[in-house]
Amino acid sequence: MRLALAEAEACRASGDVPVGAVVVDEAGRVLGRGRNEREAAGDPTAHAEVLALRAAAAARGEWRLSGCTLVVTLEPCTMCAGATVLARVDRLVLGAWDPRFGAAGSLRDVVRDRRLNHVVEVAGGVLADDCERLLDDFFAERRG
């Protein structure tokens, strides 16, 4: 989670919401990193999770990320939760829960929906205070 937090911190320069993600394999090696880049790239799909999953798939040379863990500072939205399922990620470790948009147990539970072709194990609240503080500080600065 500390690596994901470092990615989130790097969002400050672009003005993106500070969310960071990493994908690690079974041995704990980092395969992909991502941070929100919607503002920087002008791309509505440039969420930290999607970028980390793309990088991990490129590193692996295939789209299936079986055996991998996605670590992210904020509970994934519906798009990112769906991408996590479709990539066949085994585990999702998240920091802060997102009651407004979260799709890993808060608003929805896409990653554990047994009607889908893959179910993801979820561990939430990891370094939640640090993850929440980063988001709170960002939005406090925006409100000025």
Position 13 pLDDT exceeds 90: no
**pTM greater than the 0.95 cutoff:** yes
pLDDT over 90, % of the chain:
96
> Which is the catalytic residue, given 26, 49, 121, 132?
49
CB atoms within 10 A of CB 60: 17
Mark whether 49 is an active-site residue. yes
Q: Tens of pLDDT along 48-59?
A: 999 999 999 999
Q: Where does the pLDDT of residue 123 fall: very low under 50, low under 70, confident under 90, or very high at 90 and above? A: very high
Q: How much is the mean pLDDT over the chain? A: 97
User: Where do the H-state alpha helices sit in the chain?
Assistant: 2-9, 38-41, 48-60, 78-86, 128-143
Q: Tens of pLDDT along 62-82?
A: 999 999 999 999 999 999 999
Residue with tokens 């370094």: 127
Give the closest residue to 91 by CA, choosing from 114, 62, 67, 113. Answer: 67
